Amino acid sequence: MARPVGFDHQKYIELQSHHIHQRRQQIGGKLYLEMGGKLFDDMHASRVLPGFTPDNKIAMLEEIRDETEILVCLNAKDLERHKVRADLGIPYEEDVLRLIDAFRERGFLVDNVVLTQLHEENHMALSFMERLQRLGLEVARHRVIPGYPSNTELIVSEEGFGRNEFVRTSRDLVVVTAPGPGSGKLATCLSQIYHEYRRGIPAGYAKFETFPIWNLPLEHPVNLAYEAATVDLDDINLIDPFHLQAYGKQVTSYNRDVEVFPLLKEMLDMLAGASPYRSPTDMGVNMAGYCMSNDAICCEASRQEIIRRYYQALVEERRSESDDSRSHRAAVVMRKAGVSTHDRAVVTPALDLARRTGAPASAIQLGDGTIVTGKTSALLGCSAAMVLNALKHLAGIDPGQDLLSPEAIGPIQSLKTQHLGSHNPRLHTDEVLIALSVSAAESEAARRALDFLVELRGCDVHTTTILGPVDESIFRNLGVLVTSEPEYQRKQLYRKR
């Protein structure tokens, strides 16, 4: 079923490619292009800008692939923090390897990784560096610089950027990317420019950051959704004060760009004789704001994303047994956007069903707006029941008809409880889908139901308890947008992650 579209992805590719070409001509020489956000699998952008495809940005870069080299950054402190990419469920170090493979499969040159904010006591980072080197990659070590980004005299010196290892690149457009925010991409670009000038090679900088969108109002829902997505970083959207002073125009930026701009400008003044930029906004090449074809659709999608981020913060706090600082900041963003959890259509039906049954429940909103629920039973968990009910609705199968017979479910339950050590006989979502696939060999209804599995992509789901890792992984792979109440089904001190 076609979903509403609010973003013209083809226009974006064409307009963005042209603008980057113009910036390269303006700068001349070598250009370090910081790519904010994600080049691959940009799920956030695809959720808040319906029509933006997760690989939109890499498709744009493919048009200039033969002129481009990729440089991947990873903050060494993120290895110590065991940081995980939430939308894929994998650690940052594994995502670095995944990104390199994905770039190479598309024909991009990528041979270098930079470990930023490295100190010698970070044994996890040093171990990962050795692993990268064994895999044939070049690894540069960048140190923590005291006083960054305010102490320009120290930073732009032999004791600052001069202590960082130089990355030898071979092409005139170097795209600097990372698994996630806070990875040190800008500092890497500036360090490279410093070293290029020391070698007599003119070099410049530009930034390709999708969010916040500079030519949308400060508190436009799309920009607020970015703020909600970065509550763990304390990022704040604000009016670019340098742009306002230079041009008398209000445009949207964010705190980290504003904080580091004086360093960038002073450094380029020192090295090149003059900076081409008068504001952080001038640095950017983002054309996304010109490609929104339906503002109302993007606004509603962004409001829903803000609510999802609030629930995500609640669940993460519960899992990590941490304070409520992230959810508090997300709640502030919700108030700015004028929404509450009641504006997420699947929340109330799931909670109502849980109250009526006294057990965990779930609800899904299908592409046509229909709400389908699932309750916990002796045979099925609520998420598995919800998926079967949704597939029956989509395939036009009688709600009372069993897609799986007890004879099909029984052996799986026996395997779980008698041989695999599980105390829970109920089937998880993955087990139900496997049973449904097996049943499809003889059941026309099961075959029809499986044909509609693709229709679940992009659907909103809410569960009244925190999902286990299996169901969480299945929903992620199906492209379902899940939120959960910050409650566990059972009270336990030890939980398998």
Please provide the DSSP assignment of 217-276 as one string.
Answer: -TT-HHHHHHHHHTTTTT--EEE-HHHHHHHS---EEEHHHHHHHHHHHHHHHHHHSS-S
Contact yes or no for 142/188 (Cβ under 8 A)? yes
pLDDT at 386: 97
Q: Tell me what pLDDT residue 105 has.
A: 94
C-alpha–C-alpha distance, residues 254 and 207, integer Å = 13
Which structure tokens are listed for 339? 């929404």
**Pair 292, 6: CB distance under 8 Å:** yes
d(C-alpha 45, C-alpha 56), whole Å: 9
Q: According to the model, what pLDDT value does residue 491 have?
A: 58
The candidate with the shortest Cα–Cα distance to 470, out of 437, 431, 425, 434, is 431
The SS3 assignment for 205 reads strand
For 374-419, where are the alpha helices, taking DSSP H only?
Answer: 382-395, 406-414
Q: With a cut of 50, which residues of the chain have pLDDT below it? A: 493-497
Q: What is the pLDDT of residue 443?
A: 87
> Strand, helix or coil at 354?
helix
The DSSP secondary-structure symbol of 284 reads B
Residue-range domains of the chain with CATH: 9-293 (3.10.630.10), 345-484 (3.40.140.40)
Q: Beta-carbon neighbour count of residue 440 at 10 Å?
A: 17
Q: Are 310 and 228 in contact (CB under 8 A)?
A: yes
Q: How far apart are CA 37 and CA 43, in angstroms?
A: 10
Q: How far apart are CA 76 and CA 184, in angstroms?
A: 10
Query: Residue 1: its pLDDT value, please?
Result: 59
CB 383 within 8 A of CB 429: yes
DSSP count for the chain of H helices, then E strands? 20, 14
* Phi-psi label, residue 37: left if phi above 0, alpha if psi -120 to 50, beta otherwise: left
Nearest-angstrom CA–CA distance, 145 and 155: 7
Are 114 and 72 contacting, i.e. CB atoms less than 8 angstroms apart? yes
- What is the pTM (predicted TM-score) of this model? 0.88
Number of Cβ atoms within 10 Å of the Cβ of 126: 17
